[in-house]
A and B are shown apart, each in its own frame.
Chain A
Amino acid sequence: MDVIGQFPLFYFPDYGSAWMMGITGTIHILASHTSVGAAMLFAFLARKAYKENRTDYYPYMKKYGMFLLIFSYVIGSITGPGIWYTATAASPRGISALIHNFVWVWATEWVFFVYEVIGVFILVYFINKIDKKTHLQLTYTFALASVGTLALIIGIISFMMWPGTEAYYTTGSASDAFFGVNTFPHMFLRIGFMIMMSGVIGLLISSSMRKDNAELSYELSKKMGYISLFGGFVTLLSFIWYMGTLPQNAHAVFAFSKDAIIQNRIVLTVAFSLYFALAVFKPKMIHPAMATAMIFVILIGGLWSGEKLRESMRKPYVAGQYMYSNQIISRDVAGKGIKNELPIIAEKGLLALNPFVPKRLKVITTDNKLEAGKLLAKMACSNCHSLEKTGVFRPMKDRLVGMDKEGIKAILYTIGDGGMSYMPALKLPEAEYDAIAEYFASLKY
């Protein structure tokens, strides 16, 4: 029996299932990046406190640490595996590809996580119970462990974009997959953002300390302003470096919305530069409400759009430029013995090969054509597009508006022939093309 290893489909009406991962991912990035940034900031502050005998820094670190426990070690540590879980439901073969390439990298990251989680409780709760030198040493190790988690995850998420060379496809080696051409630019892009985020969150904490110690609050707000400016600068420079290491298909997607993205980045850069400058020159003007608002601006204006862009630029792939978003393997990876599934799908069709398609839909008939077409559309398209007339997430209704069956079929043929670099070159048997086109046409977008 010919079978390809596809799993049951999970589809959330009007949105698709990928948005669940997007929401969880965006929240996680805010929390986790703050966490790593704060770990570096703690090391910096602890050093200053120790060397200059600034005991007044410790209550600030304690307060920041308590905030971090809830923000990063509740929300961040749950949404971390949360991305994994939701990705598993939305894109099981994509995440499986990553797991089977990088299980030991993830396991190594886990060792750092364990250190980080135990470390943060000790760092926060023992700040007044251990001597300053031991505390300083602890903050150094905590910062290194936090950066270690970034160093390990970055190669995996960079591989999701592409390995960048042909080496991985020949050797199948995790090292060749992990250290791709955009791994280091991506790492510095995130380090810059983490430093900036530590300052942005630091401003919330420092500005809320005004009632207790106004002078210290202003001094720290000023410092957070400088730190954020530095982080922002590193982010901008690294972003340019990062963009230069992306594959052709990413640039093709980027070109669609280049003007809007550049405009968005300019607005954000100007707004945040002014905000950080305000912290440096007029720290008294930084208010907790303003600091909170700016965190939400970053979350919605910066992170959500940025992560959406990064996810879009991977299209049509979800991992290593061999796994399509719709869970089909599109090329051989000789080093791992992975075989391209496109030829057999072109010959036998998705319905016949997917083990979870019910028997009554394995062969298309006039009676089941619309139902089979709907299932095929979900299998082939719904990872990136919502299908309904009320669809929200990259909806089909915007792409196939007013088109009849033949027009839709012509688009499917073009995609199948690889005519759109950001769409999967998925060739299907004529009966399956016909069923999909009939289903879309029946919706009368």
Chain B
Amino acid sequence: MDASVLLALRDPAGVPFYPIIFQVLYILTWALHAAFVLLSLGSMGLSIYGATKGQSDSHWKKLTPHLIQTGKISISILIVLGVAPLLFTQVIYDPNWYVANTLSGMWVFIFIYTLVVGYSMYYWYYYANKAQKGGDYIIGIISFAILVFAGILMHNFAVTSIMPEQWMQMYAPNGVVDDSGWTFNVNILRLAFLVSLSIPVVGIFLQNYSRFLSTRDDFDKSYISYTAKLGTNIAIIGLLISAVAFVLWMLKIGYLLNPLSIAIIIGVLVLLYFSKMNKNSYITTLVLVVVALLISGMRELIRFDIMSNLGYSIYDYPVNLEIPTIAMFLLTFVVMGFTGVGYLLSMAWKVGKNEGIFDGTKDALVSKLGKYTLNIMVAWMVIYFGWGIVILFNNTL
């Protein structure tokens, strides 16, 4: 695929802001999305192990439903967080995104309903585990397998999108057009590395879980120390597996000595040390966030290099500055987003720490954030309608 074609596939409307901003937002939001993908995979997988133990082990009896609940919420969050990178990638890498989706059109359709079935079954697993009538782990395994398959399909779209030199051969092998949408590509090493990360992620999550509950009197000390130790062991084993998979992947594509790759390896070593010590898992989580951002950056670097080598640079995308809507986004993101999500998370944190009913009206932070969120949202609505009416009057009267 030569540069003239790739450039022609860009949207003629141009991009509404500087491409680098979309690139940064993509890296940031993909890392967030991936964090919850990995947490859901890890917690789901571990919960199945717990479910097979049934009621026989007192620790797992408590832990399994919590892991199932974590997986359940994580899937919802990964879906909503996944919308953002999906959006930003389409703005600057539209040739890649649209070609991959049309070539794999049938898989795109199957992906959506795979996810619907897999996630619905996960709720079934949740209720079956709650009912404690046995056999719940079978539902869990099926749900897990379906959701992993959805993940593999998503991997297919990502991999196909960075194979521009083979697109024509995929679409019209030997010059005969194949519009069936069954194109499927897998990069085993890349997939293995990304999936393997779910192990250390759930390990570090367990360390956090243990630390968070350690202040609650209704959880006994042996349970707290058991989950902390379990988390440490899982994190260490997982990090070692991920490190090997990463090195193999980087070796295969010739990026092992790239500064970003080295930074990731150093990050993993730091994580290993912090996880093993488990002095403060919240700090370990911060390091994990940094490593996740580096991995997201590495994915982007690989794509950027592939496209640049073909003569397609996102930085040359024509810009049609669009000030009012970016102002709306930035203000909403910073003012409403941070206040609102801060409100919800601080409330969730305090409810989790609290035994009995949490009185938000007596908590200065929660009540203030709640009041601000409500006022900001009302103001947002007023501005929205005012803006719309002014535009309509201008354009129609």
Contact B325 A105 (CB under 8 A): yes
Contact A96 B94 (CB under 8 A): yes
Contact B333 A144 (CB under 8 A): no
Given contacts A99-B91, A137-B374, A174-B324, contact A336 B5 (CB under 8 A): no
Most chain A CB within a 10 A radius of its CB, from B120, B340, B384: B340
Check: B181 CB closer than 8 A to any chain A CB. Answer: yes
Check: B177 CB closer than 8 A to any chain A CB. Answer: yes
In the complex, what distance in Å separates the CA atom of A21 from the CA atom of B16?
A: 27
In the complex, what distance in Å separates the CA atom of A20 from the CA atom of B102?
A: 13
Contact A141 B377 (CB under 8 A): yes
> Residue-by-residue, is B11-31 near A (CB-CB < 8 Å gives 1, otherwise 0)?
111111100001001000000
Check: A227 CB closer than 8 A to any chain B CB. Answer: no
Residue in contact with A165 in the complex, picked from B105, B359, B360, B396, CB distance below 8 Å: B396
Contact B87 A133 (CB under 8 A): no
Among the 9-residue stretches A53-61, A196-204, A274-282, A352-360, the one with 4 or more Cβ atoms under 8 Å from chain B is: A352-360
Beta-carbon nearest neighbor of B15 in chain A: A100
Check: B286 CB closer than 8 A to any chain A CB. Answer: no
Among the 9-residue stretches B59-67, B78-86, B187-195, the one with 4 or more Cβ atoms under 8 Å from chain A is: B78-86
Residues of B within 8 A of A107 (CB): 25, 84, 87-88, 329, 333
> Residue-by-residue, is A21-39 near B (CB-CB < 8 Å gives 1, otherwise 0)?
0001000000000000000
Check: B366 CB closer than 8 A to any chain A CB. Answer: yes
In the complex, what distance in Å separates the CA atom of A77 from the CA atom of B75?
A: 10
In the complex, what distance in Å separates the CA atom of A371 from the CA atom of B119?
A: 43
Check: B56 CB closer than 8 A to any chain A CB. Answer: no
Given contacts A96-B11, A141-B370, contact A174 B322 (CB under 8 A): yes
Residues of A within 8 A of B381 (CB): 144, 147-148, 151
Which residues in chain B, 262-293, are within 8 Å of chain A measured between CB atoms? none
> Residue-by-residue, is A111-134 near B (CB-CB < 8 Å gives 1, otherwise 0)?
111111111011000101111011
Check: B302 CB closer than 8 A to any chain A CB. Answer: no
In the complex, what distance in Å separates the CA atom of A140 from the CA atom of B396?
A: 34
Contact A144 B374 (CB under 8 A): yes
Check: A108 CB closer than 8 A to any chain B CB. Answer: yes
Residues of A within 8 A of B324 (CB): 173-175
> Residue-by-residue, is B143-164 near A (CB-CB < 8 Å gives 1, otherwise 0)?
0000000000000000000000
Check: B243 CB closer than 8 A to any chain A CB. Answer: no
Contact A175 B325 (CB under 8 A): yes
Check: A183 CB closer than 8 A to any chain B CB. Answer: yes
B216 to chain A, nearest CB (A): 13
In the complex, what distance in Å separates the CA atom of A140 from the CA atom of B371?
A: 11
Which residues in chain A, 34-77, are within 8 Å of chain B measured between CB atoms? 69-70, 73-75, 77
Most chain A CB within a 10 A radius of its CB, from B179, B378, B381, B388: B179
B227 to chain A, nearest CB (A): 21
Given contacts A108-B333, A173-B324, contact A113 B83 (CB under 8 A): yes
Residues of A within 8 A of B336 (CB): 111, 115
Beta-carbon nearest neighbor of B350 in chain A: A130
Residue in contact with A118 in the complex, picked from B345, B354, B392, CB distance below 8 Å: B345
Check: A254 CB closer than 8 A to any chain B CB. Answer: no
Contact B8 A5 (CB under 8 A): yes
Residues of B within 8 A of A239 (CB): none
In the complex, what distance in Å separates the CA atom of A304 from the CA atom of B380?
A: 33
Contact A110 B116 (CB under 8 A): no
Check: B4 CB closer than 8 A to any chain A CB. Answer: yes
B101 to chain A, nearest CB (A): 4
Which residues in chain A, 215-261, are within 8 Å of chain B measured between CB atoms? none
Residues of A within 8 A of B322 (CB): 104, 173-174
A146 to chain B, nearest CB (A): 11
Check: A283 CB closer than 8 A to any chain B CB. Answer: no
Residues of A within 8 A of B360 (CB): 130-131, 133-134, 137
A263 to chain B, nearest CB (A): 33
Check: A298 CB closer than 8 A to any chain B CB. Answer: no
Given contacts A1-B4, A126-B351, A337-B318, contact A100 B98 (CB under 8 A): no
Contact B325 A104 (CB under 8 A): yes
Which residues in chain B, 338-367, are within 8 Å of chain A measured between CB atoms? 340-341, 343-345, 347-348, 351, 354, 357-361, 366-367
Beta-carbon nearest neighbor of B2 in chain A: A1
A289 to chain B, nearest CB (A): 21
Check: A11 CB closer than 8 A to any chain B CB. Answer: yes
Residue in contact with B102 in the complex, picked from A1, A10, A79, A165, CB distance below 8 Å: A10
Contact A96 B79 (CB under 8 A): no
Residues of A within 8 A of B332 (CB): 108, 111-112
A112 to chain B, nearest CB (A): 8
Residues of B within 8 A of A79 (CB): 112, 116
In the complex, what distance in Å separates the CA atom of A92 from the CA atom of B9?
A: 11
Check: A12 CB closer than 8 A to any chain B CB. Answer: yes
Check: A82 CB closer than 8 A to any chain B CB. Answer: yes
In the complex, what distance in Å separates the CA atom of A93 from the CA atom of B90?
A: 11
In the complex, what distance in Å separates the CA atom of A169 from the CA atom of B13?
A: 11
> Residue-by-residue, is B190-232 near A (CB-CB < 8 Å gives 1, otherwise 0)?
0000000000000000000000000000000000000000000
Given contacts A10-B105, A74-B116, A358-B172, contact A5 B333 (CB under 8 A): no
In the complex, what distance in Å separates the CA atom of A129 from the CA atom of B359?
A: 9
Residue in contact with B86 in the complex, picked from A77, A84, A100, A116, CB distance below 8 Å: A84
Check: A339 CB closer than 8 A to any chain B CB. Answer: yes
Check: A138 CB closer than 8 A to any chain B CB. Answer: yes
Check: A296 CB closer than 8 A to any chain B CB. Answer: no
Check: A181 CB closer than 8 A to any chain B CB. Answer: yes
Given contacts A1-B4, A107-B329, contact A99 B87 (CB under 8 A): yes
Contact B340 A145 (CB under 8 A): yes
Contact A75 B116 (CB under 8 A): yes
Which residues in chain B, 88-125, are within 8 Å of chain A measured between CB atoms? 88, 90-91, 94, 97-99, 101-106, 108-109, 111-112, 115-116, 119-120, 123
Contact B179 A141 (CB under 8 A): no
Check: A401 CB closer than 8 A to any chain B CB. Answer: no
Question: 13 additional contacts, CB 8 Å, given A88-B90, A176-B391, A179-B391?
Answer: A5-B8, A88-B102, A92-B102, A95-B98, A97-B11, A99-B91, A102-B325, A104-B322, A113-B80, A141-B373, A329-B12, A336-B12, A337-B13
CB-CB nearest 8 A-B residue pairs: A134-B360, A10-B105, A89-B105, A82-B112, A104-B325, A92-B98, A100-B13, A144-B377
- 27 pairs from A and B in contact (CB 8 Å cutoff): A8-B167, A9-B102, A9-B177, A10-B101, A10-B102, A10-B180, A74-B123, A85-B108, A88-B90, A88-B97, A89-B105, A93-B98, A97-B11, A99-B87, A107-B333, A113-B80, A119-B344, A130-B351, A130-B358, A131-B361, A134-B366, A141-B340, A141-B373, A141-B374, A144-B380, A175-B387, A357-B177
Residues of A within 8 A of B (CB): 1, 3-5, 7-12, 17, 20, 24, 69-70, 73-75, 77-82, 84-86, 88-90, 92-93, 95-97, 99-108, 110-119, 121-122, 126, 128-131, 133-134, 137-138, 140-141, 144-145, 147-148, 151, 164-165, 167, 172-176, 178-179, 181, 183-184, 329, 333, 335-339, 355-361, 375, 378
